[in-house]
Amino acid sequence: MIDFLKESTFAVNEVLSKAWTVTKRHYLSIATLCFLMFITSNASFLMTFFLKDVSKGLNILMAVVFIFFYFTINLALFKYVFHLLDDEEHDVSIVSTIPTRQQIIRFLVATVYFSLCIFGVYLVVIVVGLPFVYLPGININKVTNIAVPVGLVAIFITWVRISFFPFFIIDRNLGPFASIKYSLATTKGNFTKIFMLLLVLGSFQMLYLFFGFIQWPIVAFFTNVLSSFIIIPLSSVALTIAYRKMMSEYKGEDEPDIIHNIV
């Protein structure tokens, strides 16, 4: 079997350090794109709320339009960060990082594949757990209590393993299914590091939820502000850098297969 992928690795602290340097140097541009994503998502919610009693067809149409714009800005953000990483000494125009129509279509199709993969894992957990329900002396509630956490863990692992597909579409101009396969291959052996990176980046959001739960509204507010204006832009840059570091170890030109990269 062709060795499609060497054991790639990256240091979480190195990724965060590099991400902080890039984010600090180009904060206004990166934060602007993140803010546009925030405005688009909230505008979509408000539009849906005000049009819900006017026309369902118009409501659906506007929802599709806002989703399209949101994904376009999201891809533009990744493409912008790629340009910054490739040419740190020169300014990059945000307009030049708008993804092509082909890339947007590939992303939308890959998102459908992504959802099907998540749903497929959910079905596998059900199929595996279903026979135990019919065993004599087995409590259905106990099976459910075990199956639900196992299913959630399986879905989370799958989500992490294939969630890098947008980078391959933007950076390598790959097709939808190929981007899913490459994401699965590059994250092989790197799940723990990716999980730690996500844990660090998501810590402020967890703090926000915690302070809200214990009813410290002022602390929760400032934590949320810090997360929105610092951590979210930093997260986009950090994940892009993590992708680049994993891909730097890639060997071979053939597409990796799914079977040999699941575990």
Retrieve residue 191's tokens.
């799940």
Residue by residue, pLDDT tens for the chain (263 residues) are 334 334 445 678 888 889 999 998 888 888 888 888 888 877 776 776 666 666 677 677 777 777 888 888 889 999 999 988 887 666 677 777 888 889 999 999 999 999 998 888 888 877 776 666 555 666 666 666 677 777 888 888 899 999 999 999 999 899 999 999 999 888 887 888 888 888 888 887 788 778 777 878 787 777 877 777 888 889 989 999 999 888 887 665 567 766 666 66
Under a CB-based contact definition with an 8 Å cutoff, are residues 251 and 3 in contact? yes
Angstrom distances, CA of residue 46 to CA of 32, 59, 243: 21, 11, 34
3-class state of residue 5 by DSSP: strand
196's enclosing H/E stretch is helix 191-201
Whole-prediction pTM value? Answer: 0.81
Beta strand spans in the chain (E): none
> Could you report how far apart the first and last alpha carbons of the chain are, in Å?
16
Q: Give the domain ranges of the chain.
A: 12-261
